[in-house]
Structure 1
């Protein structure tokens, strides 16, 4: 080909352009950039120093020294920093003042300042604020999945693990924890300097520190040593701290025994934070928990205690699964979560022999996964991800709840011992490194000599769930399906059955329980009329595990419009009164509330209240345990109230001491409900409720949430407008609760006008919020609606807005209940 002079110039410019930047520079961290850096950058070290001011609004100034080994120094070095280029000062590269470009959230250092081998980059900077959660008296970092780059310049991808040395210059009265033990260097002029030791290699999203006016509790039994920071009053912490420490000890010991690998990191401290975005976060050496998840009140029952134990075991399990071995890219983020959930369920079992762990597993997993997996917004467990700035949209019930069921099925297929050995080999092979799902499967195949890859690909890389049709014929259970690829093992009448063909026959001896007894089946099991009748009539004679299967699968049949409401609602109400398993009572309560508020008219609700209120009052009075009394009180709170019920409920908001004792959260929930019903709207009542709360945290929450139930629609409008300002969305669980009240059926007629603005705000919610917020935001807005018009408006929005497919899926997941409610009845 002959080039003219102009063509030659274009080619030359293209060549130098490619040499200038090895990959296209885009917002976020693209997979292309990550793959390039992984092939070129290695042996990374960060030395970070932050000056923490006492005042919340002051800037945080910092310094950084980054060491990185470059395989090729002919192209620019690319750092990630989602802040502002004016935040960087005095950039020194290899002892020489350097220039840099700031393009699309990246700091780009020219190749002329770089060398092959180790490079040293130092600078001063102003810390970014987005993920530095600052309160009046404390702060904490939360950098998952790609938020490290919002705090400090770094290579923000999980497979570029690095070692960290951190120092904090902070007020003298503050306490702090981070990834390693700290040495206090000096105290001058009301300040102190803590220097934390160098960490093991970790991913950027696991770097963290917590600092502030915390109280400190310590534990040391000779083998385990913990520091716990908290803001809890002495009476509550004294009642809980021994259990909290013991649960961490139990989790570590069990997982060390299961994996044969000692705790991979030098220490395990943790902080209890009042407002916290998640239940917990597995930062190296500095786990963060939502305080209310670990501090239980005196009425807490076995299920609440088990939930706390599972949360602690989940976060501790991450020290091995996620922190020691980390996914290579966030498309496999489910990999760390599935093991944390799977291992946590196993780890807590020995400590709670009185609890039916089959029921617990099912309620925590299948029952939570089905609402997403049955929707048009479902997705595979492993999802495609082109850029880390969308990694937050990957999180949800499919990876947290469906994936552990798949792991349980895998254990059934290869055996518990084989899976344990495979996981031990996996952890040892990829320790302090990264691995993919395919790497895991290869280890299992090598360990067991079983080709499970086709089965694993079906369950992990394909969306949706299998569907079956069940019927009883001449003493046999007949299972028919068109989804033959979804092979799974279940237990029928204590016999193992592998559903791997279009038609499966399971013999039933003496017409015994005809459903899965393993708590590990997954899918929609459609019952014919005869099987429905058989199950409803015999539920009282079933074991807890069997009853669980009945309640869940009948609910799925109801949701799929295969059982009418006239049949199912009386069944749920009756079982709600007589069921004695606390987990199953909560399952039934959730079903009842959904039917009561979203499938019935106002007059139908009032009729049920007139009939049932006195019955549940009697059950509350006759119950011997405070836990059961509290449960029935929640049922009474959930009903629609008139002036007739108010005298019974009023003391629970106006009196400090009640029977049963009412928690701050339940007291506020009752008050909000009564306000929506126009039964408790006075300012005097609001002040009385505030006076009866036991903590400043809940008093602040009450102040925040009260306008959402105001009898004045102008005040509610102003509340919704405030949500649009990112500064007012700092406590995301509060925002979700406020949206839930605004969109509650009792206020639905005046809040439908917020729908368009709610949808338009969603991209910003995804951009500025933490990983679970977009789903919670939608669940408490769109997901609370019943109007048919909502379906049309949402589909119009999707048609005219080019959303990322994962964000669109979140919308469809929360639109699904609206669609199903309208399949039963049109509420206009």
Structure 2
């Protein structure tokens, strides 16, 4: 990665010198499996006499021509940048090069489908990887139009930001597609997807009367599983919602959605050509939580067509303006425009939980982050940028008013269409629409880090009437900001066996103590819930009486959102070592059977497994893990046949099964000798069960190889890699390690799943020999591998299951000895923080 970094100062200096008009990019994808031919012609103006550079990560540069003068590639290009001296007022630059395909999910990714040996390509350019495909001024504020001409096998589909044209014959079975220039956009949202994709087409009518062509694409071997009608329906619902709320018609000319293999993220908002992970093409049963998440993702990327693509941040410190907005907008659209009406419950359970976790790490940062270079932004696609930012926007909507917020956003789009903005550009419009002064709000919420904790302070008289009610706000010593919050307080009482809301007030909270006079004189309810309806971004605590009622009646809370808030409050207290982990385990096992929301179920079960493995005191871990495994099996047996709950209980049971009897039940499920009514052991669930058997020493290489032969697909290869790495032998762990560290050929998805299997160790002593190896590999891997692969290795191979003081000390020693690079240190610091939190929770649980 050295040499590939671009600093903000360099970007500012370059933007002061250069304005880009057009790119003409010609790509030949018929030149072999390793490289493709790339010719770029750029028209730009510049300060006469100035010098700058253009980005181009290449294998070979054949020619560089600036304003008709041939430059020596060996002199001006280092394979990463091309130096440009003596610029004129108007300039034309042509770069002829060979660029490399990748298998890392960055640049132009090349995948060969094991089912039919067909080749599939797709681009992934955010943050800095369009330069792996063509020569480009790689920064978001140097917008331009992009005209692609692509030569590829004639049987392929070729998709970019503009509508796909009719191709012309290029000889030898190839064709050439000459696309129309794009709108004025940033380089990171340009796109190229090519291969024998199966495609289903439709259309919709935009609010301005235009017919917008729609396309859904997937690999041929997966196309039978693509539920196109449903995806088109959600897309239409999103279009109608956003066009109305933003008061701005869809900005582009067509909308393709492409499900692509080995994708690093959930999706990417390429203008008019959105790419998605193909795990959203469901070849086996998935949880309702995943189905809902797919809808949110579809609408998240659609929201980006306005917020991010039409109007783009000037520099990556305002990345949150893209991601936080899309996170908030997709959630409200999901809740109001689709059948997933409990989307805000999902947001509270999953997104906010992620945000609170990230905001308590040593690496936390303000929503508006300090981004000095590309390395900074690459590690900032995190819970602050997405989930905290989205939560803060929800708070802002409550603060300024919903209608006023949408009106300000509409003005923002109209004023800044096709341009670049900074935070203040949005705040100006929101202040105008709402009449609120947001300068103080923005300073406290967007420019400081950390999460506040809110607690109720309640006094009552002998008759149970409230005589005093206050909301107490605290902050950590490291991040002491006390913030303004708009929040609701709910009163809940038992009615016919259900805890239902009987009263609600909505107030502004500011300062360390906020008195709530309007609650004085009311009878104290069974449960007092701060942040009812989840308007505010803050951890909450229950008062002792409410906590006792909640623990006894959690399953009886009628509102899914209120229930989620209580689940979250008790989990936060467990993570903060205020509540013992075994108490949390007991709470979950006693209440989870009646949880109705799939994402709540999935999240809480994940927290249960985390608590049992990491937060329970070491003396009790073995017995608690056995208890959890047995309880999950019992829950699966007693769940409604064919239900989402049954499915989830089985999946989590497989993830923790360790004892001989538990593994026997896993085997019996897999081979059908002990079936569960309504549960189909389909391909992907069968793999999960086999991985559990492999990790437990009840299946070996022969069984894994046989399953892989029966499922010779990309997913099958990934599952087989995870199963092999999970085998409980020193030889298997070493083989997994060597396949990732000693060689550099595994694609991104295999790296990820192999690391997951490596860390799956019922006997954690298997990981002890790798502690020193882990710290020895960090600096070399950071230098030698792409960011995507390095990040997966640094996070995925950290031996966190050891969770002991020796690992803490080894990590601190490495940090003391390695002051640079900052981005690498951040990943290691976050790893360390997880272990330190585990040890603190274990100490609390041992009391």
Q: What pairs with 1:611-626 in structure 2 (closer than 5 Å)?
A: 613=630, 616-617=633-634, 619-620=636-637, 622-626=639-643
Q: Which residue matches 1:61?
A: 37
Q: Distance in 1 between matches of 2:637 and 2:589?
A: 15
Q: What pairs with 1:642-721 in structure 2 (closer than 5 Å)?
A: 642-654=659-671, 659-681=678-700, 683=702, 685-690=703-708, 693=711, 696-721=713-738
C-alpha displacement of 1:299? 3.9
Q: Is the 8 A contact 1:378 1:813 kept in 2?
A: no
Q: Which runs of 5+ in 2 are unaligned?
A: 113-118, 206-210, 461-465, 476-480, 491-503
Q: Is the 8 A contact 1:91 1:98 kept in 2?
A: yes
Q: What pairs with 1:530-679 in structure 2 (closer than 5 Å)?
A: 530-542=545-557, 543-600=559-616, 601=618, 604-606=621-623, 609=626, 613=630, 616-617=633-634, 619-620=636-637, 622-654=639-671, 659-679=678-698
SS in 2 for 1:79: strand
Number of equivalences: 792
CA offsets 1:578-615 (integer angstroms, 9 cap, x no match): 32332322232112111222234597545664686377
Q: Which residue matches 1:514?
A: 528
Greater shift in the superposed pair: 445-454 or 472-481? 472-481
Q: Is the 8 A contact 1:165 1:197 kept in 2?
A: yes
Q: Which residue matches 2:190?
A: 207
CA offsets 1:766-811 (integer angstroms, 9 cap, x no match): 6644569727841663544412211111111111102344443333
SS in 2 for 1:64: strand
Q: Which residue matches 2:498?
A: none
1:258 to 245, 252, 255: 245
C-alpha displacement of 1:53? 2.4
Greater shift in the superposed pair: 172-181 or 593-602? 593-602
Q: Distance in 1 between matches of 2:123 and 2:625?
A: 48
**Alignment TM-score, normalising by the size of structure 2:** 0.88
C-alpha displacement of 1:230? 0.9
Q: Is the 8 A contact 2:237 2:338 kept in 1?
A: no
Q: Which residue matches 1:6?
A: none
1:173 and 2:155 correspond: yes
Q: Is the 8 A contact 2:262 2:277 kept in 1?
A: yes
SS in 2 for 1:145: coil
C-alpha displacement of 1:339? 1.0
SS in 2 for 1:546: helix
1:124 and 2:138 correspond: no
Q: Which residue matches 1:791?
A: 808
Q: Which residue matches 2:510?
A: 500
SS in 2 for 1:498: strand
Aligned alpha-carbon RMSD (Å): 2.8
CA offsets 1:467-501 (integer angstroms, 9 cap, x no match): 33444321355422344631111100210122202
C-alpha displacement of 1:528? 5.4
Q: Which residue matches 2:22?
A: 45
C-alpha displacement of 1:399? 0.7
Q: Which residue matches 2:842?
A: 825
Q: Which residue matches 1:13?
A: none
Q: Which residue matches 2:68?
A: 95
1:479 to 471, 477, 480: 471
Pick closer, same or farther for the CA change 1:255–1:354 going to 2, 3 Å: closer
Q: Which residue matches 1:219?
A: 202
Q: Is the 8 A contact 2:196 2:220 kept in 1?
A: no
Pick closer, same or farther for the CA change 1:608–1:331 going to 2, 3 Å: closer
Q: Distance in 2 between matches of 1:802 and 1:663?
A: 49
**Alignment TM-score, normalising by the size of structure 1:** 0.89
Q: Which runs of 5+ in 1 are unaligned?
A: 1-24
Greater shift in the superposed pair: 562-571 or 494-503? 562-571
Q: Which residue matches 2:11?
A: 34
C-alpha displacement of 1:366? 1.2
Q: Which residue matches 1:310?
A: 296
1:366 and 2:352 correspond: yes
Pick closer, same or farther for the CA change 1:776–1:462 going to 2, 3 Å: farther
C-alpha displacement of 1:300? 4.0
Greater shift in the superposed pair: 514-523 or 793-802? 514-523
Q: Distance in 1 between matches of 2:629 and 2:691?
A: 22
1:396 and 2:368 correspond: no
